Amino acid sequence: MARQFSTVGVVGLGTMGAGIAEVLARTGLTVIAVDVNEEGLARGLGHLEHSTSRAVARGKLDEAGKAVLLGRITTTTELADLAECDLVVEAVPERMELKAAVFAALDGICGPDTVFASNTSSLSITEIGVHTGRPGKVVGMHFFNPTQVLKLVEVIRSVVTEPEVVTDVVALVEQLGKAPVVIGDRAGFIANALLFGYLNHAVRMYESRYATREDLDAAMRYGCGYPMGPLALLDLIGLDTAYEILDTMYHQSRNRLHAPAPLLKQMITAGLLGRKSGRGFYTYD
């Protein structure tokens, strides 16, 4: 029988971390969420408030349910408060040295059976694992944005991840009401490896004035039934995140499909990161 996780730590309360905390708490798990400082926690709590209010407005949750859900999440700036967790999901920015430091610290804080999961979308789970004394208990748990809505969770096993850890995490993903897929440790895993070549191509088309942003997006929405066009989706993902994913995949595969379109870098340098900065391919209130 799969192991039941009861207390889960979430490290990093950005868009993804807050979404993951919400999904875990929605299923009845106790969540301890960590961010580097009070400002980070306040931003994370803002995400949680916004999303749960939206769920109430959409009839997915009532006010009492919202209070119970939020009551299951405690916040802290101390990693040491995760000592009793049986699973920790890390969702800090996509930099290996940051993730390595988080897991190296957690290794000395949590018990030896605690499973460490990373929500990385582009870094190697194997490499993250070797920064801990328990690489067999390190796994990828890759959620999709918006986490509260999208069902996919990619479960990534390194060559040394224990099979039981994969089974237990897959069972947890099902318990969350989501759809797990299991994959080995390769940049882009499944979904991003397929998706980002397409998104990058759309940026190149826009860059060469092949079509307007509206027409590029409309073509894929109305011609292919995608919920969002590629440029609107890049704004949702964040242009900086998209660049990092493309760059990592390009360095691993040298496939030109993944060589980031120059416009992406220019927009990032100019501070146009998408929805999170108020402007990307489109402008947001």
- Nearer to ligand CAA (CB atom), residue 227 or residue 278: 227
Query: 8 has which bridge partners?
Result: 31, 87
Alpha helices in 58-185 (DSSP H): 63-71, 96-109, 125-130, 163-175
* Residue of 5, 17, 24, 51 interacting with ligand CAA (CB under 6 A): 51
Which of 174, 228, 262, 284 lies at the binding interface for ligand CAA (CB under 6 A)?
Answer: 228
Asked if 218 touches ligand CAA (CB under 6 A), the answer is: no
Question: Is 114 an interacting residue with respect to ligand CAA (CB under 6 A)?
Answer: no
Taking residues 233 to 252 in sequence order and writing x for each that binds ligand CAA by CB under 6 A, - otherwise, the string is x---x---x-----------
Residues 252-267, buried b or exposed e (16+ Cβ, 10 A)? eeeeeebebbebbeeb
Q: 20 vs 110, which CB is nearer to ligand CAA? A: 20
The whole-angstrom separation of Cα 137 and Cα 188 is 21
- Give the separation between CA 49 and CA 26, rounded to whole angstroms: 13
CB of 246 to ligand CAA, least distance (A): 11
Cβ distance 236 to 228 under 8 Å?
yes
Q: Which residue has the tokens 């961010």?
A: 35
124 is catalytic: no
> Which has the closest alpha carbon to 255: 186, 153, 209, 208?
186
Q: Does the footprint of ligand CAA cover residue 144 (CB under 6 A)?
A: yes
Query: Which residues carry out catalysis?
Result: 121, 142, 154, 192
Binding site residues, ligand CAA, CB under 6 A: 51, 54-55, 58, 60, 121, 144-146, 148-150, 192, 227-228, 233, 237, 241
